[in-house]
Amino acid sequence: MKYSERFKLAKARFYREAGVDTNQSTFIKEFDFISNAHYFLPGAGLYHCNEHDLTFETEFDYYNNTGNFGSLINVPDSDISENKSFKYQVYFPKDTLKTKKVTLLFHGFNEKDWDKYLVWAETICEKTQSAVILFPISFHMQRAPKFWSNNREMYKLSSQRTELFPNIANSSLSNAAISSRIHAMPQRFVWSGLQTYYDVIKLIEELKAGKIEWIAKDFELNLFGYSIGGFLAQILKLSNYKGYFSNSKVCLFCSGTTFNRYAPASKFILDSEANVAMYSYYVEHFDTILKKDKFLNHYIKQLHTEGEVFYAMLDFSKKRDFREALLKKYESYFYAITLKKDTIIPSFEIINTLNGAYRNINIKVEEIDFNREYTHENPFPNTELESNQIDEDFDFVFNKISDFLR
């Protein structure tokens, strides 16, 4: 079956009522999730670290004046209901009463629906006989207000940004919402990332407690991360909360480098103004900001391993020894596939990070180049053009991914 046909069929299966049979080898179920980690998102005013029972008042608010875009910007992140309570979907191998293998699939930045990942998830599920959990990053997918995906409103917002910032590049209706929010408050990236981190921990603990009847309590856990989802997977593995990820394999696709080596300015990811704001905040001024923001300092510089790992993954030159020691420790658990023409997260930057500055980390990184046009954002286009080649490329990549995760 051609990839374009598989894509359409996977969508038709996914958007049926949850629980119906998807095909002869997998089925989908849907589950409720409530995030308990929204308490430190921007807008709360009074912040509390439950782990250390410490309370912080808002003393330092970093904010870029990007114009008044009404509810898009001014609604406190901590009040956005879609981000706190949502449903997630799981692919299960057919005829498995209780699987002992789970793969968490993490998507890319500024994603609004799961469509392009459905064939990916089905394939991993079929070939590895693992439950595949589609878990959304904070303020993405089903965790984002529908308004942010309203084409008419986003076109207006993109036009407003173009008027306000005449030199802006890559502004589009696709990235207008996330660009406006990140441009105004770049700290949203770290706080939403930490929320997702703790949500994943809660998810794992729920699975260990037997929440899902089709998953054994003593399951084996692996991670698959694409793009920024790989960044999250790396932090989960390297911080290894309570040993939950000690034996987890981590497969990275178009991912693996430190944050400062990303080039995310794209009509599908961030516009140029948001990209500059992110780089300025996390690469150029982050250490200065940490001295002023006590709450952020607590999570990044003090008693939280996940924050220390996040910091080490921001800049290739900072905490390199710490980062590379962890990557060396877990080198046999990592595998990365890069794409030669990827301009968002270039292959050579992934190699620099995963293999280390002195190439003494033995993580397998495979660079692949397809004999057709492709992009980081869309490595396997849903098109009839070159469909046979796309099908061949997809099978080539996901056979490798599945062999590693099996």
User: What CATH number has the domain bearing residue 320?
Assistant: 3.40.50.1820
Contact assessment for residue 102 and residue 333, using Cβ atoms and an 8 Å cutoff: no
What pLDDT sits at residue 376? Answer: 98
Exposure string over 357-388, b if 16+ CB within 10 A, otherwise e: eeeebebebeebebeeebebbebbbbeeebbe
Token pair in block for residue 97: 């009463």
Question: Tokens standing for 333?
Answer: 């658990």
* ∠ Cα 347 352 358 (to 5°): 150
- Give the lowest-confidence range in 61-75, 144-158, 228-242, 376-390: 61-75
Q: Which two tokens stand for residue 349?
A: 């930057």
* φ/ψ of residue 136, rounded to 5: -80, 140
pLDDT of residue 60: 63
Query: How far is it, in rounded angstroms, from Cα 262 to Cα 143?
Result: 24
What backbone torsions phi and psi does residue 43 show, to the nearest 5 degrees? Answer: 115, -15
First to last CA, the chain: 23
Report which DSSP code applies to 265.
Answer: B
38 vs 170, which has greater pLDDT? 170
Helix, strand or coil for residue 368? strand
Distance CA 315, CA 293 (A): 20
pLDDT of residue 140 exceeding 60: yes
Point out which residues pair with 265 in neighbouring strands: 270
101-107 average pLDDT score: 99
Render pLDDT for 258-308 as a digit per residue (tens, 0 to 9): 999 999 999 999 999 999 999 999 999 999 999 999 999 999 998 899 999
278 C-beta neighbours (distance < 10 Å), count: 22
Rounded to the nearest 5°, which phi and psi values hold at 51?
A: -65, -40
| Token digits of residue 391 | 């099908």
How buried is residue 82: exposed, middle or buried, by Cβ count under 10 Å (0-12/13-18/19+)? middle
73 pLDDT band (50/70/90 cuts)? low
How far is Cα 172 from Cα 177, in angstroms, rounded to an integer?
A: 9
For residues 363 and 327, the answer to whether their CB atoms sit within 8 Å is yes
Question: Average pLDDT over the chain, rounded to whole?
Answer: 93
Give all strands (DSSP E) within 99-198, no chain letters: 99-106, 131-134
Residue ranges of the alpha helices (H) in 45-175?
71-74, 81-84, 118-128, 151-164
Rounded distance between C-alpha atoms, residue 141 and residue 295, angstroms: 28
Nearest alpha carbon to residue 207 among 141, 135, 140: 135
The number of residues making up the chain comes to 406
The label of the residue with tokens 């879609």 reads: 82
Tokens of 386: 């070159």
pLDDT for 44 equals 74
Give the model confidence (pLDDT) of 190-223 as tens digits.
Answer: 999 999 999 999 999 999 999 999 999 999 999 9
Domain of 200 in residue numbering reads as: 3-405
Record the tokens describing residue 31, joined without a space: 């589950």
Q: 72 pLDDT exceeds 70? A: no
Count of domains for the chain: 1
